[in-house]
Structure 1
Amino acid sequence: MPHTAARPRRSGALAAASALSLGTLLLSACASPGTGGPDGAKGESAPVKVGLVYSRTGPLADYGKQYLQGFKAGLEYATKGTDKVGGHKIVVTERDDAGDAAKATAAGKDLIGKGYKILAGTTDSGIALQMAPLAAQNKVLFLDGPAATDAVTGINKYTFRSGRQSYQDTLTAAAMLGDAKGKKVTVLAQDSTFGQANVAAVRAVLGKEGAKVSKVLAPPSATDLTPFARQVRSAKPDLVFVAWAGATAPALWTALDQQGVLSASKVTTGLAGTASYPVFGKGGDKITFLAHYFGGAAGTAAEKAMTKSVKEQGGVPDLFTPDGFTAAQMVVRAAQESPEDADGMIEALEGWSFEGVKGATEVRAEDHALLQPMFQAKLEGTGASAEPKLVKKLDKDEVTPPVQPMKG
């Protein structure tokens, strides 16, 4: 895969942290939903206001919850439990977009109008593509969350990632295929922004390596998925790359197993949250998963701190918990270097290398991609007892997407 050197990096890992109780964190770090925290009291520096616009409700609410818990844990970690940086209190306001782009942009506009310089939290790829231009128009920092569409990378100078992108998923899968020349790869996905992004990424990665890439796209509303499984089987691919989300996932994996796809071809898909493990059914052990993250995968100090904090919040680290944690690290870095000026925040983040939950992480200066390790995993057990086991960790340099020209 092509690599382009970044501009000279700034190193600067955020300090190790102690974990506070959830009660203390809620009291000091986050305003109640839909409200802002108080301005600085007399003698204190002005607060740094952060708006978390994420899916508290809606189809991606579970992912939104993971992100929020990770953000709280990351804020503890990055500020050593003070929720302050450089004398500035970090005040966080939560807004629910309910998975709706119109609600997200309305919330963003409202927060910007109230003086917020940082927006973060987007869970849905389609929403991210609406929030990014809003940030650029108003010259505020936008930290994309779990939304993985590659189109966010390089979209404008005000937009950064706190999670991975689809191209990194594809590079993780490509490592399973070995020499791709002449191999047949079929992408099975829903006909959505996320699904199309995965098709494009597979073609960009494996197509350039000489693989013959085809696609089978199903309407997001489809419930009978057997015909699509048959289409995949008839293509006789060497590798099946599945990009799927939503309530129909159990039916999809049942259909793939019944039609013999899981036995006839090497099959890979993204390892989603813990709640999804049972959906793979009896065929789960036939799949090699590409994994953005699962609990215990990294073994880093940041992961241990995140795990402790999230458990104190009554949760368990999951797929997108690190995205929230990383976003908080980025917020603190930006506020430390330039608490009131978005352009200064951008300069502070571009080229920044730090130790994240997953390990060595870098904000690439040219297009704001977040370079980070990825994982390969297998599931052991079925149903509620299924657990992921690490097969291989890929360092950030092994899964680096190509640089995208900055569009704005």
Structure 2
Amino acid sequence: MLILKKSYSRLAMFAALLLSTNLAMNLTTALAAAQTPQANGGAKALPPVRIGMIDGLSGAFSNAGEAVQRNLQIAIDRVNARGGVRLPDGQHKLVLSSFDNKQGVEESLTALKHLTDQHIPFVVQGNSSAVALALVDAINKHNQRTPDNRVLFFNYSAVDPVLTNEKCSYWHFRFDASADMRMHVLTEVIKDDSRAKKIYLIGQDYSFGRQVARSARNMLAEKRPDISIVGDDLHPIGKIKDFAPYVAKIKANGADAVITGNWGNDLSLLVKAAKDAGMVLKFYTFYGNGLGAPAAIADAGIGRVRAVAEWHPNAGGTDSDAFYSQFRQRYPDPRDDYVHLRMQVMIEMLASAIEKARSTEAAAVARAMEGAQYKNAFHNALMRAEDHQLIQPLYVSVMQKKGESGVRFDNEGSGYGFKTERYFDARLTALPTSCKMTRM
């Protein structure tokens, strides 16, 4: 009996050993299989390169922030369709993370803190020069204080000239024309308009609005000293619901043209008030071709409302038309029809700079961005190293009905589009800079 028990015990031990060995072999095989490309559908994905957008996604100007988000996303998707950005360890996709600043400076600085806490290397913002100036100052301090977590700021719409003059920064790049550059081409058009005699200035009461008024006065005094400035009003940004009192002043002063840098609802409500008052005058605008303005102006704007931009849907050419058509296919809702070429240029130039630098480190990408050129079949731009201002062509376009000569596309399904009136080569848009930049 004792012999039988010992034999059974040895047999049980052998069986247990055999079982454990088979389990170990099976587990090893399973783990190895799980690590093969065939098991997980390809090589392990590399971490994305994150871009943090700080802009208004709620409140009075949420439509402007949402338009930016759409433009950035389609540009990012184009880069990712090529596999992303190439770095020494492989290709990384771009990812957009959005932070709602409610168009406030304090909220923007809080968003920047969240962004840097997450080690997001690239910040994009534009819909407020006041916010942009605060971000430049905060980023300068952050990058000096935390050199192992530095960030770069890419500005798509904040056009206060100081950002690339006395407040220029190595960590800031602007992809829109400055207010002075935009005003320069607008006043070139006004200079050649013999019927322009009395100009009314109206704008939003913050750094950008005040700069637009200063630029208009200075440039008109130089180019057309015979023109009278018959009014100059600043109003609270995003607070005015009825512009009828302002329009009454414009009418009472006998103005035959208005210059305004207003954007978003402040622009569309202004031009709608002028329409409702039955006024017949020209509007020279920075942003008259977007976010509800054409529909609000309607027939009263035909041949009268002008806008300045680096591109517009009716700029012309097969490639330009294809670019716009691709955007409309992606975002077919007429309310989403607000396309910024400069945001596509910004993302493409960022991707190229990352690849040239072979890094996402801020100083390395900044060095790669300086002097960089963007060129496609219908646009050519250069990032000026002296002040980090993008130098690019500008169009002044005039509002017309869709279907008129040169107006194939309308804005936001309104039945109204814009036709090129004057084209300014990049060499004609560049202005001197007073930037004295400290480089890394």
TM-score normalised by length of structure 1: 0.77
2:187 is the counterpart of 1:174: yes
Q: Pick the structure with greater CA Rg.
A: 2
Kindly provide the amino acid, as one letter, of the partner of residue 161 in structure 1.
R
**Contact 1:177–1:239 (Cα < 8 Å) also in 2:** no
2:353 is the counterpart of 1:367: no
Structure 2 match to 1:89: 92
**What is the aligned length?**
366
**Contact 1:105–1:131 (Cα < 8 Å) also in 2:** yes
The share of aligned pairs that are identical, in percent, is: 18
Distance 1:241 1:61 in 2: 24
How much does 1:225 deviate? 3.8
How much does 1:389 deviate? 2.4
Structure 1 match to 2:10: none
Distance 2:197 2:382 in 1: 32
1:105/1:288 CA distance change after superposition, 3 Å: same
2:130 is the counterpart of 1:116: no
Q: Which moved more, 1:245-254 or 1:392-401?
A: 245-254
The Cα RMSD (Å) is: 3.4
Q: Which moved more, 1:188-197 or 1:344-353?
A: 188-197
Structure 1 match to 2:34: none
2:293 is the counterpart of 1:276: yes
Distance 2:391 2:321 in 1: 17
Kindly provide the amino acid, as one letter, of the partner of residue 194 in structure 1.
F
How much does 1:63 deviate? 2.1
Tell me the secondary structure at the aligned position of residue 262 of structure 1. coil
Q: Which moved more, 1:140-149 or 1:317-326?
A: 317-326
1:226/1:43 CA distance change after superposition, 3 Å: closer
Distance 1:258 1:48 in 2: 49
**Contact 2:294–2:417 (Cα < 8 Å) also in 1:** yes
**Contact 1:150–1:165 (Cα < 8 Å) also in 2:** yes
2:418 is the counterpart of 1:388: yes
**Contact 2:231–2:253 (Cα < 8 Å) also in 1:** no
Kindly provide the amino acid, as one letter, of the partner of residue 70 in structure 1.
N
**Contact 1:326–1:356 (Cα < 8 Å) also in 2:** no
How much does 1:250 deviate? 5.3
Deviations 1:357-390 (A, max 9, x none): 9611111111111112222222224993222223
Structure 2 match to 1:133: 137
Structure 1 match to 2:410: none
1:333/1:204 CA distance change after superposition, 3 Å: farther
Q: Which has the higher contact order (CA 8 A, sep 6+)?
A: 1
How much does 1:156 deviate? 1.0
Kindly provide the amino acid, as one letter, of the partner of residue 395 in structure 1.
D
How much does 1:260 deviate? 7.2
2:180 is the counterpart of 1:158: no
1:60/1:115 CA distance change after superposition, 3 Å: same
**Contact 2:275–2:297 (Cα < 8 Å) also in 1:** no
How much does 1:302 deviate? 6.7
Tell me the secondary structure at the aligned position of residue 141 of structure 2. helix
Structure 2 match to 1:217: 233
What are the equivalent positions in structure 2 for 1:285-304 lying under 5 Å apart?
285-292=302-309, 293-297=311-315, 299=317, 301=319, 304=322
1:42/1:112 CA distance change after superposition, 3 Å: farther
5+ residue gaps, structure 2, are 1-41, 144-150, 403-412
Structure 2 match to 1:334: 353
Distance 1:342 1:248 in 2: 36
Deviations 1:64-85 (A, max 9, x none): 2222222222234445531232
5+ residue gaps, structure 1, are 1-40
Distance 1:357 1:120 in 2: 26
Kindly provide the amino acid, as one letter, of the partner of residue 252 in structure 1.
L
**Contact 1:123–1:146 (Cα < 8 Å) also in 2:** yes
Kindly provide the amino acid, as one letter, of the partner of residue 159 in structure 1.
H
Tell me the secondary structure at the aligned position of residue 389 of structure 1. strand
1:79/1:289 CA distance change after superposition, 3 Å: same
Structure 1 or 2: more helix by fraction: 2
Distance 2:417 2:347 in 1: 28
The correspondence for 2:210, drawn from 170, 190, 196, is 196
1:349/1:307 CA distance change after superposition, 3 Å: farther
What are the equivalent positions in structure 2 for 1:51-62 lying under 5 Å apart?
51-62=52-63
Tell me the secondary structure at the aligned position of residue 370 of structure 1. strand
